[in-house]
Structure 1
Amino acid sequence: MRRTGTPLTVVHVLPDPEKYPGPVENPYTALVVKNLDPATIRSEYFQWTRVFWTRFDIVHFHWPEYMTRHRRKSLAFVKCMLLWAFILRARLTRSAVVRTVHNVRPHEQGTRLESIVQAALDRATTLWIVLNPTTVTTDAGRTRLIPHGHYRDWYTMPSETAMSGQVLTFGMQRSYKGTGALISAFRELDSAEQWLKVCGKPATEQDKRDLEHLAAGASTVSIDLRFLDDDELTREIARSEVIVLPYQGIHNSGAALLALSLNRPIVVPRSASTELLSVEFGQNWVHLYDGPLTASSLAESLAHVRGADREDELDMSSRDWDHLARQLEDAYIEAAALVKSGHR
């Protein structure tokens, strides 16, 4: 489906990189916008100071819960009311609402008011985008599958070779990511031939204290609890023989695709979505373990990955941005057409 004439204006509910020029914490969204054809899609970033007064065809949400949260309850209430008003404005102006579903549910539970506003957003959604076919939405007929693209267009491919025995877990450290269980399991291995490195900024001070306590005194565990820039992160991944991501309830994982993009095998818990990832890329690249992570299951997983034969570079052509961006453009065009025809 291609469009001729005036490009559709899409407002991306994401931080504007020109206004927030610091390190990009999630390159996925930057790659989404970067790869859209400007002849088809005119991209703008969400700004509260403009969205009530400017005309747009589509608004695209990724993590709408961030639109309603603040550490101060009064400001959280104001944000909820603003989002509700914006949803009403989109409906009145017949602007399409597109949602990409990244998680089954938000990582942290919100307030009752947030749930009410989020439910209103669900009802206003014109088209849902899912990153894997196991994701369930409220309307299967208006759900489109557009997989998560690789990161090879963002990160420089590493030149370093992997250090035999180095195991890595990385990313923002939240309790659901299971890093504490990984540290405990790794300490039980008590192997001088393998060591674990934990990289990533903790989401809370409690997460930081928990990880420091678990790693204290372990000669085979090192932690670097800060945000790593792109060069630092790719070096750590390149130096590692295997990446372990022991997330609880894993559904979509940008970290898994980043490791694979840099040609490093991953160990992840079995779930409906990781089974599909293993089928797509092969068990030697995506190794699954069952049940809670234990020293036994970790040892078995590491032995399998270290002993497996793999090509030097993983074929990730199925995740090329060129065709994924065209699919997203088609989804935008479809959403705009649905609204114009009276369907939401």
Structure 2
Amino acid sequence: MTQETHHDGERWQRRAQQVARGIRQRVLAHTVNNNGGYLSQACSAAEILAALYTKIMNLAPVDKPLVPPPFAGVPGPDNPNSFTGAIFHGPKASQRDRFILSPAQYALVVYAALIEVGRMDEQGLDHFNQDGSTVEMIGAEHSPGMEVMTGSLGQGLSQAAGIAMARKLRGETGRVWVFVSDGELQSGQNWEALQAMAHHRLDNMGIYVDVNKQQCDGPVCSVMNMEPLHERLASFGARVFVVDGHDLDALAAPAELEPDGRPLVVLADTDPCRGLPILQTRIPKLHYVRFVSGEERERYRQVLADFSAEA
């Protein structure tokens, strides 16, 4: 490794760490100010999204942070004004990557990531969950950073596979990156998609799974145990890596490997309370934070004040 390469790595690490911290801080602030939010998802996924947006994905640049436009209607041949949230990833091109968010409840976390990397204007969060806004709590194809409607979980992987296959057939060199939550993998549609990906040798796909072991109804293992998940995915033809989901180098390393004919799956082992230990008092109810009293909200407001003071 040259000295220049070492310095480049250090600069990327610092930048990604800042983005991850910013994601947590923005989602915490939003949660406090709105008396609710998907906070544990920000804690577990911050480094994954920071690595994707600052290192892994080859996205086109945007001229300036975009203000989310209002809803222009559903896509269709009779609606020339419709658009998708992929506009926040810059103009599409054959050599550029695509990003699919499968668990749409992570939308707020993705919005925070887009702001931190300069793709979305921070004032865009003022439109969150407002009538006529595209900045939805449960993201849709028009929401910032999204380009397909992924339904009631478990559908994003199939759609991403279709996009990846089309890109292969067209000879496009850009890859398709998918963010998946571990609880989603309880849905059978994902396993059908994995079989198809392996059969069609879609090695232009990279799947990052937030293995935070939590879902709406409690711990993933108590709802439907999927372990050993690594071996299951490998048996379906995936190229699987298990990494520390808060280690930026470990997250980025699998994406730098030469494709070998298999879809890449990175199981990122994460902590849903990472960076905000106050969340540990809510275990096992971590899926959505809704304050039960003014006193509890003030405790989180103080955490936010401390968090901001350390920046």
Q: What is the TM-score with the length of structure 1 in the denominator?
A: 0.32
Q: What is the TM-score with the length of structure 2 in the denominator?
A: 0.34
Task: Decide which structure has the larger Cα Rg and report it.
Answer: 1
More strand by share: 1
